[in-house]
Structure 1
């Protein structure tokens, strides 16, 4: 090949070899460009700057998918804003994408661009759905030209690709190269010239014309690592492109294509560990967005829990299945995304909620809602199997989707177009599934299906529908049905628990439940009473239920989202949205009511015991409480009302009482309540007002089991109800506690522990 001087005609070059700091050098002009990133101006965490990672040569810059970008001002001699033309342009860059975009509004996720599509000016090199990619240019005469990667040449996730795009106006051609080889070309008229978008900055990692979601989040932003970005004002030859590729391989990798270590590209929770509002012993994604956790299953000594996840940022958008694993339901490890939308006819547009069960060989299988916007309805029930039997991957990292949907909604099968969140269980006769939907013209419903082989399913009709006229808050559609056996009551009747989450017009989006009996023959649920109950009386904080029977202990365990209750602006600034609630053990009490308690394994997180006493008046108890502070605490307290009508405890109190949250019980109204009127002085936070609901104590003392975890507050009262809420105090000294009540109540007992982080 001889010696090729590839850097002839080089006009811009970012080597990204800084490895630290919040700027990147463009070495031709010697301009230091600022790197935009939320970690440069985080309000609630320590400033850590953008994330640098191992590149193909030296370091590379990790783009987080929603806030990381670089704007470079192209200082051309032309200062009059007159039109500029290029007869040739070549771009070369090493990329390791972490996630693909949904393709909102047909726009490309920009790798690098300086373009205006309407005016047909400039150029855009970017990615699209499922890893396809394109180079697009505006030509003199108002012609916008697009050249796309052919089938089979998509850019793989979590792997390095060397990408080159060449516009050669004199020869009249545009070319794409992948890893040193030409993969696509297109003719343009000889003598064509590229029309520059002179009034725009060159953007790296962000589209010049990105879509805005909820007026806060710019879409079409690159997620992954970028390294060695070069621009030339000439057309590179095929030999030069191949030589550039080979040079990197030979310089550091012994002639072999470089690999990306997963730990270098994965979402990293480290920068968020210092966020003073982010829970530390509740399960959460490493960063970005989650909604409900789901599909809990125990296998080979470990518990697996999955969750609805947008890997591109802290907003609801392109849903994948995130994945955690745990030996004790308390300490969780982050695993790679388990299921992602792919270029197939099954679920190209989203992998929505579902559940897990075992196949005939006892191996775990995942049932999920397959999102396919080209189908009607756009949601069906699909299945994925682990590769455990081939590779004994005990973390169950790899999952293979069954190519066809298993259950496709037909007309007359619930409300057409609303058909999601399969909950599947197995017994000696086969497999059963509940799917969330509704009844046409009626209310929400769980639809029942049965199968003898797990692949072929028969519709059995509605499993249960409630009276929408009597209970309009149960809404027209139910999501996330969960069905668990509770065992026999005192009369020997076998009881079951049905949980649902209503949505749609008029729905109260909370977790409602009924206790009742299963008619196995007809696959119907018969509730003991028509009116549903709430497990949690906080307002829209305890949602998104899933559940399992723990094979190790026989317990029935449910999982939920703890909603963040923040504005999109604050979620943008924070880099995370939502977390899981504590796992709850639910059981049938002697009195026929549903018992709920946080799982016992949480006691393993107890650190120092800060306080323990019995039988004190309110005033004496508060003297003892004066020196106890914290935002990661477990508090167990029993309060005897005596003459009190209202009684409870203030948490997250500033010393002057300017900020505080009151958790209390009203004995006249039989209500468990949280008063957040003074929770925060921060003008951007939403959490205000009083939340709560009915709790019949039937003469018992008030027994509160409280978990504080930064912004999380969970109150469990007398093993009967929970109240989950959120607090975001503005003051760092809002860490005090104080008993509160009227009359002459007695503090029967108190125990308080520090709780340790699980991360």
Structure 2
């Protein structure tokens, strides 16, 4: 395999060509040292151990850095220290940029102590600006490229050659992009580097900012190849030669990369025994609420809050999935990412609508920490209307926000999560907000063109003295029309919010009522807000759509994962979406909730289907059924308490129990024995009221590894999580009072939502 020729003379310190292409070690050809590669999934905490990822590089292989856990550490005692000269040369293709927490760059290679003004660092800053930083004569010295100069910025998802040179005798620092100088500064002549005794790290800042327990910021994310460090200042011509040498290695043409090449392979997580497989998830890393669903040209599109840098909440993008049936999905590259100007600090939640030509438009919350509030409303449209891009991968943002919060003494500095819909010949937008001393609200706006919006005041507000759990502001407002169980239109809507702020209980709350289109107001039928789901903070982050194919009102949610940062780090993923649910108006004017009917397309095999059997007979049949990806439909008539244990070990040492207590008119989930792992957080009993009267219990359960969703008589749901430690915790068992009749029991094995090859 072709690689650079080693030149051990002239002070070469180290060279990693990354041509191994497999395994968990890489060789420095100057010293002959084999360096281990750190990688979270190598621990094999919940699935078999995996080695770091490799891919095509410059004339050979390249190492892929995942943005949070992949890095190489070389002991300070095993690396030479440069003095009056230093050159670093490397080929990189960044997957994403970084917020640069604490003003520390996402690091390519470093051995430094910024506060001690020691050592050196080469890294990438916000939005592609990049930097060479040195401790020179005890003074920390930084050279940066201009982020506004497009010719000097490191482009995303494209191979670039970066070089940095320090010449102490001449008093110069220089940066080269693809062989050309893009930044330079003078430093004292005849200066020397102040050595650092820290370890040398590749891909990780050795003084990265701490985010949360296990997560250290300022990692490199992307492909890296041909990293070379020399203890002398190479000339401009020599650095140009390094660039040309790399181009020659790949036959004179640098390999082209596409956004799809940077999608995490979800195959890495298929054997994780806790990761859901038939629900929407990110390819890997962090997922927050799904949002902006719409149907266009035969495809459903769903976006979601996504951090491509790792399984933690930070630097949010809009992930993107597409489906033809709402249950089988394909991963697409992120649709929106933070950019200089309108949304430098994050692309936060929003919604979708159709413009005057019937094309989709995305409304989203822009993150800009230099403003107060740090949230405005942005607009993005498909780059070509889907003509040459049927998956709508490419979107163009409006350069300026369409809406910002008016400075008003009555309003808090909270302004986010636009929800937009077409109302006859105009559009209406709701934005989550808060009123000082009056609690949460959604502010209403109208527009004739989607770009100019007129305020209409609060859409609805409640009394915080009566309902303090609604917090001081509302997030993610959603308004959907309700049809009856026969699919007929009614004059009712459901208004959904997520409480935020001091005192808030962040479960989805709703009111049923009338939408006053003339005044852009909501008039509820009941003052007290209600819960759809009684689980423990797992059914959250609402977004919704009216399906143009069927007229259904569909609600999408996030299914929170509830785990510690340490576990998320080791797993490589965090959170996932709940199954979309259809909302209807029941005969008694209450809300009906049920999973979308398309889940039938996920059914692979019927494991059990019986009618009118005793409890004992049903349990005998269940003894032979095991699995962690199941659909269960149960109809049972019994007095007192009825329960079904899921993810149950043979002796019941671990189990999660769904129950219905008729005497107390209560449904709930008992997780006191869900896991024997003391590091998992799934604990306690969650419950809520539901009176069944004389009706049989009708329970519909979706079990997807750690995710459990249970629907009780189409009226309430219970979303929860379970993380059993035992590999044999995959059984089922019923419990009920004597004389119980199992009127129906069906158990099906479910297939996955994504098509991919197991590694």
TM-score (normalised: structure 2): 0.96
Q: Could you list the per-position Cα deviations for residues 692-738 of structure 1 after superposition, in whole angstroms to 9, with x for gaps in the alignment?
A: 21112232110000011000111011111110000000001001111
Deviates more, 1:146-155 or 1:480-489: 480-489
Q: Distance in 2 between matches of 1:299 and 1:718?
A: 33
Distance in 2 (alpha carbons) for counterparts of 1:162 and 1:351: 29
Question: Structure 1: how far apart are the matches of 2:490 and 2:310?
Answer: 48
Contact 2:58 2:249 in 1 (8 A): no
Tell me by how many angstroms 1:607 deviates. Answer: 1.2
CA displacement at 1:77 relative to structure 2: 9.4
**What displacement does 1:268 show?**
1.8
Supply the distance in 1 between the matched residues of 2:387 and 2:88 (Cα, whole angstroms).
41
Is the Cα–Cα contact under 8 Å of residues 386 and 392 in structure 2 kept in the other structure? Answer: no
Asked whether the equivalents of residues 94 and 226 of structure 1 are also in contact (C-alpha less than 8 Å), the reply is yes
Instruction: Give the C-alpha shift of residue 5 in structure 1.
Output: 9.4
Question: 1:7 deviation in Å?
Answer: 6.5
Partner of 2:757: none
Q: After superposition, what is the alpha-carbon deviation per residue over 1:109-156, rounded to whole angstroms, capped at 9, x for unaligned? A: 11000011111111010111111100011112x222111113221111
- Alpha-carbon separation, structure 2, partners of 1:76 and 1:736: 53
Separation in 2, partners of 1:210, 1:489: 55
> Do 2:40 and 2:69's aligned partners in 1 also have CA atoms closer than 8 Å?
yes
Q: Distance in 2 between matches of 1:583 and 1:492?
A: 20
Secondary structure, counterpart of 1:462 in structure 2: strand
SS at match of 1:174: strand
Correspondence list, 1:616-631, <5 A: 616-631=613-628
Of the three residues 383, 390, 393, the one matched with 2:379 is 383
Partner residue, 1:649: 644
Q: Which residue number in structure 1 is paired with residue 711 of structure 2? A: 716
Instruction: Provide the C-alpha distance between the structure 1 equivalents of 2:734 and 2:440, rounded to a whole number of angstroms.
Output: 42
Say whether the 8 Å CA contact 2:482–2:490 is kept in structure 1. Answer: no
Alignment check: 8 A CA contact 2:547 2:553 kept: yes
Correspondence for 1:203: 201
Q: Secondary structure at the match of 2:412?
A: coil
Q: CA deviation at 1:377?
A: 1.4
Find 2:71's aligned residue among 69, 72, 82: 69
Distance 1:59 1:261, change over 3 A: farther
1:506 aligns with 2:508: no
Cα separation, 2, equivalents of 1:522 and 1:459: 11
Q: Partners of 2:34 and 2:198 in 1: how far apart?
A: 18
Identify the residue that residue 229 of structure 2 maps to in structure 1: 231
Q: Which residue does 1:251 correspond to in 2?
A: 249
Residues 297 and 304 in structure 1, CA contact (< 8 A), matched pair in contact too? yes
Which one of 23, 31, 34 corresponds to residue 32 of structure 1?
Answer: 34
The answer to whether 1:614 aligns with 2:601 is no
In structure 2, how many angstroms separate the alpha carbons of the residues matched to 1:318 and 1:166?
31
Partner of residue 87, structure 2: 90
User: Could you say which residue in structure 2 is the equivalent of 1:179?
Assistant: 178
Aligned to 2:474: 478
Tell whether the 8 Å contact from 2:482 to 2:489 is kept in structure 1 after alignment.
no
Match of 2:751 in 1: 756
Matched, 1:242 2:240: yes
- SS of structure 1 residue aligned to 2:414: coil
Distance 1:488 1:31, change over 3 A: closer
Q: Where in structure 1 are there 5+ consecutive unaligned residues?
A: 79-83
CA contact (8 A) 1:176 1:183 kept: yes
* 1:12 equivalent in structure 2: 14
Which one of the candidate residues 443, 450, 466 is aligned to 1:447?
443
Q: Any conservation in 2 of the 1:585–1:598 contact (CA below 8 Å)?
A: yes
- Pick one of 535, 538, 555 that aligns with 1:538: 535
Which of residues 408, 415, 419 is equivalent to 1:412? 408
Q: Distance in 2 between matches of 1:378 and 1:262?
A: 29
- Give the secondary structure class of the aligned counterpart of 2:385: helix
SS of 2:599's equivalent in the other structure is helix
Q: Name the structure 2 match of 1:81.
A: none
Q: 1:133 to 1:373 in 2, by over 3 A?
A: same
Secondary structure of residue in 2 paired with 1:185? strand
The equivalent of 1:221 in structure 2 is 219
TM-score, normalised to structure 1, is: 0.96
Q: Indicate yes or no: 2:158 matched with 1:159.
A: yes
1:492 is displaced (CA, Å) by 8.6
RMSD of aligned alpha carbons: 1.8
Counterpart-to-counterpart distance in 1, 2:750 and 2:324: 19
Asked if the contact 1:645/1:743 (under 8 Å) is kept, the reply is: no
Query: 3-state SS of the aligned residue for 1:86?
Result: coil
Q: Secondary structure of 1:195's partner? A: coil
Whether the 8 Å CA contact 1:6–1:244 is kept in 2: the answer is no
Sort the Cα spacing of 1:391 and 1:234 in 2 relative to 1 into closer, same or farther, 3 A: farther
- Aligned positions of 1:350-389 closer than 5 A: 350-389=346-385
Q: Work out the number of aligned pairs and report it.
A: 746
1:620 aligned counterpart, secondary structure: helix
**1:735 equivalent in alignment to 2:730:** yes
Between the aligned partners of 1:7 and 1:619, the Cα distance in structure 2 is 78
Residue 75 (structure 1) shift: 3.8
CA distance in 1, matches of 2:536, 2:135: 52
Structure 1 residue 263: Cα displacement: 4.6
Matched residue SS, 1:419? strand
Could you tell which deviates more after superposition, 240-249 or 291-300?
240-249
Q: What is the correspondence of 1:422-571 to structure 2 with a 5 Å cutoff? A: 422-487=418-483, 494-571=491-568
2:682 is matched with 687
Matching residue within 130, 133, 136 for 1:133: 130
